[in-house]
Amino acid sequence: MSVAMRPAQSPVLGIVTFAVVWGYAGFSLRATAESPTTSVSSRVQSEQFQDVLEPLSQRFADRQTAEVPDFQRHVMPLLGRLGCNGRSCHGSFQGRGGFQLSLFGYDFKADHAALTDENAGRVDVDDVAESLILAKPVDADMHEGGKRFDRESWQYNTLARWIESGASTYRSVQTLDRLEIQPDAIQFTGDDQQQQLTAIAHWADGSKEDVTELCRFSTNDDSVATINELGRVDSALTGDTHVVVAYDRAVVPIAVTRRIEFDGNVAEPPVSDHVVDRLIAQKHEKLGIVPSPLCTDSEFIRRASLDITGTLPAAEEVRRFLANEDPNKRNELIEDLLDAPGYAAWWATRIADWTGNNEQELNNALPVRGSASRLWYEWLRVRLDDNVPYDELVEGIVTAQSRQDGEDYLEYCESMTEACKPGNEGLFASRDGMPLFWARRNFQKPEERAIGFAYAFLGIRIECAQCHKHPFDQWSKDNFDQFAKLFASINARPNAVAKDATAIRKELLDDITGGEKLNNGELRRLIYKRANEGGIVPFPELTYVNRANTARQRKMKGKKRGSMPAKVNAPKGYLLGDAEPIVLDKDPREKLMQWLRDPANPYFAPSIVNRVWANYFGVGIINPTDDMNLANPASNQPLLAYLSDGFRESGFDLHWLHREIVTSDAYQRSTQTNPTNAKDRLNFSRHVPRRLPAEVIRDAVLLATQSSVQTEKMRTTLSDMAIAADVPQGRNQRNFALQVFGQSARESNCDCDRSDSPSLLQSIYLRNDMEMYQQLASKDGWVAQACASLGEAGPGQRNNPQRDQIERKADQTRVQMIARVKRYLALNDKKRKGQQEKFEKNYQAMRKRFKQFGYVTPSLKKLLADPDSWQLRKISERDNASLGGGKPVASSLDAIVEDAYLRALSRTPDLEELEIAKQYIRESESVADGLSSVMWALVNTKEFIITH
């Protein structure tokens, strides 16, 4: 495998060319990966190693060799293999024994200085054997790290030869062009198989060398494959993973698969021509996996509704969907869900997670408390509702300006004061930019912005590079520092305003304070008070500080007036992986946005594609979703490339991306497993159940337990919906359910801020929390609604006023009907015969009325025989069937239990479940108690809290 890095090439992570440059100093590493699979039995052909230098173990087996080891190519990698520059040894921040090396050995200048320090004795060119880097590692008693090599070993000879030759190094860092790994992929077929890797370094000067002995090796899953320090890969269980080879600045993943061999027969589902399914099927074929069949309609409507809109489907929606026989109904449902209010609400919440919308960190961003987070969310929601292209949405954040075109500062303050009033968030959403992204208190340092920006829009973690070269990626400390410079001049502090606004801001403040000079705390309180009263207050705005002008002013300070202005070069910063600097004489954010949009950017489109995919499958194509590094390649690179390219070609259309994923068979597969895919969690051959997100669970409890009127209001207006950020989340008022189910704290932009881990508190909430019992006992709840339809007392009621009224009307009608029967019977035969048809018609109408009341009536023959024996009796399920009325009104207990299942689980109960529920309700002290227990039990099932 080779890994190529060239700024001009078009990169895609993992398989095809990946473009990046190692910092502004010109260090470049080219790395390419080829795709053909190599079996264990294959061997590298000898002609491939022509002109390749032999490994150091052969070249330095004899101390007398004339060759001089190279500091960068040999000495530092060897010290790394020996563990000298690791975290637990001299690579730690404190060093060890007064000797410190750079972590993983990538600061060659500093490491050379530390080794050759005349006062340290680590290297002694006059007495080579007394050099501590030779004397200590061969003596376990002398060396705290234990014995690392023998006195006559090739490792000893290499270090000794370098010292006796003068312990020199190149003045500049040499460029590793590519690291070639053979074989470039491994496929095991059984137990106890092995494959030796060979690493060939290709340097920019044309030299090639076998550096296998100098590489660091690791495995991403030791249950599938292990690898030792010499690069030997051993097979383990079936599945697939990557082993990772690191040398100098190269990090190369090698795919390892072990095919599942199953002798039995597994029914294969129909072949799908969907591109997503074809790309996944190619991986399944390599692994011997047979995918699961498609899920049922009830599973699909629940899964799609929860994943796309974060909302449980209504019972009536499920009934209609299940009754619909249109073969295209799933695609139609997807379109309806993408247009539903819940879609924009839920995905605004997700993007707010990734971009760091945190009310506490925005506490001083605006002069109106509690408004910033609401404005941020609504700005996102409106654009998602309009399906604004993703790149335009991001542009509104990255290049945001506080004022609209043509808007002066006073107009800006007037507009923002009005927008901050509760209910007026749409005024802010209509503005072009969303500068609040830059205004968080934990986002003011350039380093914080570099890390957060990389998390939010690139899906990469670069925080390690603040201190040292990233161990599993290409980013060095210099890369990080140069990238962070791009964010240093953006000012979004609470008192920041443009130059033309300083006088107006002072006038507004003087009007608030009466010209009195106050401390910051007192001033903020007065501003908050004025804003809450509806008065205009000064708002901060995002500004750009020209560092070159600031430096020039500092340089001119103290010089005579009229002297020539000092010439100061503007500072420069670098985009990640770009060799061309950005001169910081103006706001660099436009160039940042151009870089994100560039088709050659290997992160921007794949990062959002990967996150959206993970929402639907519980795991990303790259996992974790915000850790796209060279050592963490995609589980299916062609799939990620197809979706990323298609997303770009669609104009960054988020609806296209959602539709392309959820219309695939891969998304619609059942949870059923077979012997080939039972253990698969990464190759999308089955639906892997996962716990619902915190906001979705909290809302699902309400939608299951509230009345139809209340839930319809929630769905249409999104009121009191956690997916719509309509639940207060202050530091001291976080909703308990959202907290215990792991809602993102948004303390950083890291996806790990959201948790899906189970806990005891989650069970306690669903089983015993007062909020749960309040929902079940609410007068606006489903239990009360169901009791009323049955004519029974609701929760907490001794009797049901509605039922009492029905009973009175029914009894009055019964008495009237008995009197009418007696009058009819008193007629002579002739008159009775003349009125018979009318009498029977009136009786049938009366029977329907009693049926609506929920009471059974005697046959006309029985009534005529003995009118006074008729007593009121409730209709039972058996009565209802014998009356031939199908379902009467919602008074059927069957219908009530079915409604409970449809609300909570989006399916109807089977016969056993139905009978158990009805029997329990009959045996309860009251119908309300029984219905409360049935709904409580459904909400506490695994089926309610997980996807299926």
Q: What is the pLDDT of residues 145-173, one digit of tens each?
A: 788 888 889 999 999 999 999 988 887 88
232 within 8 A of 196, measured Cβ to Cβ: yes
Q: In what order do the strands lie in the sheet with 185-188?
A: 185-188, 250-258, 239-247, 216-219
Integer Cα distance of 703 and 716 in angstroms: 12
- The β-bridge partners of 218 are 244
Query: Per-residue pLDDT averaged across 114-118, rounded?
Result: 84
Residue 83 is predicted with a pLDDT of 82
Residue 136 is predicted with a pLDDT of 83
277 within 8 A of 636, measured Cβ to Cβ: no
**Percent of the chain whose pLDDT exceeds 90:** 53
Band (pLDDT 50/70/90 cuts) for residue 23 is: very low
Judged against a pLDDT cut of 60, whether residue 551 lies above it is answered with: no
Query: Per-residue pLDDT averaged across 367-384, rounded?
Result: 93
Judged against a pLDDT cut of 80, whether residue 589 lies above it is answered with: yes
Band (pLDDT 50/70/90 cuts) for residue 816 is: confident
Residue 559 is predicted with a pLDDT of 57
Query: Per-residue pLDDT averaged across 551-567, rounded?
Result: 55
Band (pLDDT 50/70/90 cuts) for residue 728 is: low
Judged against a pLDDT cut of 50, whether residue 733 lies above it is answered with: yes
Integer Cα distance of 182 and 231 in angstroms: 11
635 within 8 A of 683, measured Cβ to Cβ: yes
The three-class DSSP label of residue 319 is: helix
* 722: nearest Cα among 301, 334, 342, 307: 342
Q: How far is CA 744 from CA 345, 676, 774, in A?
A: 16, 35, 26
Q: What pLDDT, in 10s, does the model give residues 247-291? A: 988 999 999 999 998 888 899 999 999 999 999 999 999 999 999
Residue 696 is predicted with a pLDDT of 95
**Percent of the chain whose pLDDT exceeds 70:** 87
- Our CA angle for 779, 782, 786, nearest 5°, is 95
Residue type, 398: V
Judged against a pLDDT cut of 60, whether residue 81 lies above it is answered with: yes
DSSP string, 6-36: -TTSPP-SSSS----EETTTTEE--------
459 within 8 A of 640, measured Cβ to Cβ: no
Residue 1 is predicted with a pLDDT of 38
Element (H, E) at 864: helix 860-865
Residue 169 is predicted with a pLDDT of 85
907 within 8 A of 298, measured Cβ to Cβ: yes
Band (pLDDT 50/70/90 cuts) for residue 531 is: confident
Which range of 280-289, 463-472, 870-879 scores highest in mean pLDDT? It is 280-289
Length of the chain in terms of residues written:
948
Q: How far is CA 516 from CA 506, 511, 519, 522, in A?
A: 12, 10, 10, 11
Residue 635 is predicted with a pLDDT of 96
* 179: nearest Cα among 147, 211, 221, 223: 211
Residue 877 is predicted with a pLDDT of 44
Least confident of 163-172, 504-513, 730-739: 730-739
221 within 8 A of 201, measured Cβ to Cβ: no
Residue 564 is predicted with a pLDDT of 52
Judged against a pLDDT cut of 90, whether residue 799 lies above it is answered with: no
Which range of 29-33, 552-556, 781-785 scores highest in mean pLDDT? It is 781-785
The three-class DSSP label of residue 188 is: strand
DSSP 569: P
HEC sequence for 872-910:
CEECCHHHHHHCCCCCCCCCCHHHHHHHHHHHHHCCCCC
Global pTM reads: 0.83
DSSP 228: -
Of residues 543 and 881, the one with the higher pLDDT is: 543
Residue 321 is predicted with a pLDDT of 97
- Beta strands at 216-219 and 239-247: parallel, antiparallel or unpaired: antiparallel
Residue 17 is predicted with a pLDDT of 29
Of residues 89 and 335, the one with the higher pLDDT is: 335
The mean pLDDT of the chain is 85
* 935: nearest Cα among 801, 806, 815, 781: 781
Judged against a pLDDT cut of 70, whether residue 715 lies above it is answered with: yes
Of residues 816 and 429, the one with the higher pLDDT is: 429
Query: Per-residue pLDDT averaged across 383-410, rounded?
Result: 97
* Four-CA torsion 754, 759, 763, 764, nearest 10 degrees: -100
Residue 40 is predicted with a pLDDT of 41
Integer Cα distance of 358 and 603 in angstroms: 25
Judged against a pLDDT cut of 70, whether residue 116 lies above it is answered with: yes
Residue 399 is predicted with a pLDDT of 97
- Our CA angle for 916, 918, 920, nearest 5°, is 70
The three-class DSSP label of residue 824 is: helix
Query: Per-residue pLDDT averaged across 383-398, rounded?
Result: 98
DSSP 457: I
Query: Per-residue pLDDT averaged across 113-132, rounded?
Result: 86
933 within 8 A of 940, measured Cβ to Cβ: no
Residue 529 is predicted with a pLDDT of 87
Q: What pLDDT, in 10s, does the model give residues 216-233? A: 999 999 999 999 999 999
Residue 521 is predicted with a pLDDT of 81
Band (pLDDT 50/70/90 cuts) for residue 140 is: low
User: Domains (ranges, CATH) in the chain?
Assistant: 36-51+174-258 (2.60.40.1080), 71-164 (no CATH), 694-740+758-791+891-948 (no CATH)
Judged against a pLDDT cut of 90, whether residue 6 lies above it is answered with: no
Residue 94 is predicted with a pLDDT of 66
Helical H segments across 37-138, by residue range: 56-59, 76-81, 108-115, 132-135
Query: Per-residue pLDDT averaged across 476-482, rounded?
Result: 87
Least confident of 2-16, 691-705, 841-855, 932-946: 2-16
